[in-house]
Structure 1
Amino acid sequence: MDVELSCLLCGSENESKDHLFFECPYSKEVWSSITTTLMFPSPPVKWTDIMAWLHSSPSGSTTALALLQAWQGCISELWNERNRRVHQGFTLPVSLLITKIISSMKNKCTAMSQIGSAHGDALLEIWSPS
């Protein structure tokens, strides 16, 4: 199997975990936009810094849960975007990927509320600012 070494999101550097999540200009824009939605306008972009930042959030708080959702949602959709480009030759603009992530987060929060989770409604308020 012939594997492309350069980043399929930006094409400017070799792909690595650190580059793909979130040093790449494309993924950095997604990550920054999603965290800004959560009122964190200057998130770290280096993997190790992000891990420390996530662990320093007050555990159990709704904001910490939303931040973890954001991180997971960004990673998942960025990986999907990378694979879409590999296997389908199709590219989504950053704005559409951001919309997909926020929509997915709202759907997860709604599902949490429907199954009786104490955090569902509070998280939904965070993801649905007025």
Structure 2
Amino acid sequence: MTKEKLNLSSLYEHLVHKEQIHFDKVVWCKLSISKHRFILWQAMLGHLLTRDNLLRCHIQLETCLCPVCELDQKSHDHLFFKCPFSQQVLCEVQTSLGLQLWPFSYSEWQVWMEGRPKGLLQKISAALLAASVYYIWTNRNWGIFEAYSCSALKLKSPDSLGSGSL
């Protein structure tokens, strides 16, 4: 009989075995602005305070509908993939670049993030992804707190973003 030391971290890993997704290189890409990185990180972890997350915390809301399109319950999947505003923003970004950058579901997005960035083009696409997520989230906040929501075409115009306050 061999004696082995009990390793608590190994035991924990064995019992909890959670699939890890590695998207840190995309999120913390040096070409991205810090506030864009932080919101992308929160979005990737599913920690943004979307209405479905607030309901899980037993916080009562007047409505569960998306404040931007008012068509569906707001969740990470809806906000970044199903909302017509988000689809229009992403379409504009992809059209401008001539690239297909964006998966079409939250789970595909997390897996897609693992493989990036390697070269300069991937780093630029990661920075654009972070900026897109940030502006989609900011537009959602405008819809809730300012009762105002931009169109995707307005976000595309540099003059519409003000004096760099975003």
TM-score, normalised to structure 2, is 0.53
- Of the structure 1 ranges 43-52 and 87-96, higher mean CA displacement relative to structure 2 is found in 43-52
1:9 maps to which residue? 68
Residue 48 of structure 1 deviates from its aligned partner by 1.7
What does 1:26-45 correspond to in 2, within 5 Å? 26-41=85-100, 43-45=102-104
CA RMSD of aligned residues (A): 2.3
What is the deviation of 1:54?
3.2
For structure 2, which runs of at least 5 residues remain unmatched after alignment? 1-59
The aligned length equals 101
Residues 52 and 35 of structure 1, relative CA distance in 2, 3 Å threshold: farther
Q: Identity rate of aligned residues, in percent?
A: 20
* 2:85–2:151 CA contact under 8 A, matched in 1: no
Q: Unaligned stretches of 5+ in structure 1?
A: 108-130
Q: Which has the higher helix share?
A: 1
Where relative contact order (Cα < 8 A, 6+ residues apart) is larger, the structure is 2
Deviations 1:22-49 (A, max 9, x none): 2211101101221232222473221221
TM-score, normalized by length of structure 1? Answer: 0.66
State the 1:67 CA deviation: 1.2
CA contact (8 A) 1:8 1:82 kept: yes
> Higher mean Cα deviation, 39-48 or 13-22?
39-48
Letter in structure 2 aligned against 1:70: L
